[in-house]
Amino acid sequence: MSKKITIAIDAMGGENSPRKTIEGVSIFIKKNISNEDFLLNIYGDEKKINYELSKFKIPNNLIKVIHTDSVISDEETPLTAIKNSKNTSMWSSIKSQVDGVSDISLSAGNTGVLLVISRMILKMMPKVSKPALAGLWPNRNSMNVVLDLGANIECNDTNLVDFAELGSALYKSLFPNEKPLVSLLNIGSEEIKGTETLKKAYQKLSSLSNEKKFLFKGYLEGNEIMKGETNVIVTDGFTGNIALKTAEGTAKFITENLKDTLKKNLFTKISLIFSYFALKNFKQRLDPRKYNGAIFLGLNGPVVKSHGATDSLGFYYSLDLCYKIVKGKFMEQIKNNLSHLESD
């Protein structure tokens, strides 16, 4: 019998928890009940968690509740949280990887604290210079892995090369039948454009490009992110976070304006009837909950950050992401992908 995929869940992090986290757990189990190849270790206030679990029919062999006495609040800074974090649901869920009882950790809690604690407990992978925060964005053909989304404001060329290799490993674990196509986000597609850091990274990635790991496609402009001609997009955390917030705002602007336009008068309301299913598909495609879950890369264990304000459906998608990451042998993909770990 093969080993079960074991996911450690911080049930107390984020808004409306543990209600939303347990509802998300119930959705995940309902959709994967036939597999039974997973175990969910749920960390937090046992009494509150069990109360929420009592609302659903969840087989006992698929979950395990581990009590913790305290919770890290969203208002705490990394410095103050670290001093009092050792018996929190967040700390315990991450430490479970070091203890060998979990394969991956998931939290909707404080992002800054989660990153610091994850790095403190799991440590950086050998020779990986900095951790990166990666996210999934839809494109015309499938999905993009985009990194860094804010973990590192300043990056050098070595950092960007690391991010490319880490992002490619993540893409291969999630989409095993597709080839990672890497691009550097830049102000133009010509080789002469961009900063010296980008130019150095361009040269290094060109030499590392091969069929086994990833194919380097060169520079990519911001208006081409959604085209689907590339699927691993690399940038520094400052630029990546701006791109992320711009994309989120644009998607919200489009959906809200489309909704207002279609309800403007009697004729537009009638047209809504005939285009209902097309508009429904359009709305689902842009639903941010489907892409919930940012992944910390470069550590000796995977950690997924769910948006703190998401609902139970959004939390389900981040939990499903955890399942796919482990099932796709993500850590093994990283070790195979990081060429600079093969020597020395």
Q: How confident is the model at residue 87 (pLDDT cuts 50, 70, 90)?
A: confident
pLDDT computed for residue 10 by the predictor: 96
Domain spans of the chain? 1-128+303-309, 129-297
Ranges 1-5, 55-59, 289-293, 340-344: which has the least confidence: 340-344
Q: Do residues 289 and 313 touch, judged by C-beta distance below 8 A?
A: yes
Output the CATH code of domain 1-128+303-309. Answer: 3.40.718.10
pLDDT computed for residue 76 by the predictor: 79
pLDDT computed for residue 235 by the predictor: 95
Q: What is the mean pLDDT of residues 94-121?
A: 93
Handedness of CA 332, 127, 294, 44 (dihedral sign): positive
- pLDDT over 60 at 342, yes or no: no
Q: What is the mean pLDDT of residues 102-128?
A: 91
Instruction: Please write the tens of the pLDDT for every residue from 186-216.
Output: 998 888 788 999 999 999 999 988 878 899 9
- Whole-angstrom distance, CA of residue 286 vs CA of residue 192: 35
Instruction: Please write the tens of the pLDDT for every residue from 234-293.
Output: 999 999 989 888 888 887 787 788 777 777 777 777 776 766 676 677 667 777 788 888
CATH 3.40.718.10 describes domain 129-297: yes
pLDDT computed for residue 41 by the predictor: 97
Average pLDDT, the chain: 88
- Whole-angstrom distance, CA of residue 5 vs CA of residue 304: 15
- pLDDT over 70 at 340, yes or no: no
- Whole-angstrom distance, CA of residue 148 vs CA of residue 146: 7
pLDDT computed for residue 205 by the predictor: 93
pLDDT computed for residue 1 by the predictor: 45
Assess whether the region 1-128+303-309 and the region 129-297 belong to the same CATH fold: yes
